[in-house]
C-alpha cells in the first residue's frame, strides 16, 4: 500500500537539491525521532551514495534501480519499496518523475 500522508512531523523547510535540481527532497522527523525525507527525482540517470541504510518507497511515477555490486536493473512502481545497505550506492534511472519517501534505517 502506498503511503498517502504522514502526520505529526517536524519538516525542514530548506530543500535538499542534488544533481543540479534533478533530485529535490525535504527532510522531516517523526514525533518518535525517526528521520525520513520525501522528494522527487526528475528524468535522469543518477548514482546515489548512502551513509545509513535506506528504504526507498515509491509513491508516484516509477524508476529502475541497480544496487552496487549487481548488474540487473529492477523496477519500482507505486506501493513498492527497495532497500539499500549502509555505506553503499545505487544507480537510479527515471523516465518520468519518481516520487518517493526515503526511510532511513
Q: How many CB atoms lie within 10 A of CB 7?
A: 6
Q: Given this model, what pLDDT does residue 93 score?
A: 98
Task: Give the pLDDT band (50/70/90) at residue 79.
Answer: very high
DSSP conformation letters of 23-87: EEEEEEEETTS-EEEEEEE-SEEEEEE-SS-EEEEEEES-EEEEETT----EEE-TT-EEEE-TT
37-76 pLDDT, tens digit per residue, is: 999 999 999 999 999 999 999 999 999 999 999 999 999 9
Domains of the chain plus CATH, in order, are 9-104 (2.60.120.10)
Task: Give the pLDDT band (50/70/90) at residue 84.
Answer: very high
Q: Given this model, what pLDDT does residue 2 score?
A: 83
Q: Given this model, what pLDDT does residue 1 score?
A: 78
Q: What is the pTM of this model?
A: 0.94
Q: Is the pLDDT of residue 99 over 90?
A: yes
Amino acid at each position: 500500500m502506498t503511503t498517502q500522508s504522514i502526520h505529526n512531523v517536524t519538516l525542514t523547510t530548506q530543500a535538499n537539491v542534488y544533481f543540479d535540481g534533478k533530485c529535490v527532497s525535504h527532510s522531516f522527523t517523526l514525533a518518535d525521532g525517526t528521520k525520513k525525507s520525501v522528494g522527487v527525482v526528475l528524468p535522469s540517470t543518477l548514482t546515489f551514495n548512502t551513509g545509513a541504510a535506506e528504504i526507498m518507497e515509491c509513491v508516484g511515477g516509477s524508476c529502475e534501480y541497480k544496487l552496487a555490486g549487481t548488474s540487473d536493473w529492477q523496477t519500482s512502481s507505486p506501493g513498492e519499496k527497495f532497500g539499500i545497505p549502509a555505506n553503499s550506492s545505487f544507480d537510479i534511472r527515471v523516465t518520468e518523475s519518481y516520487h518517493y519517501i526515503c526511510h532511513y534505517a
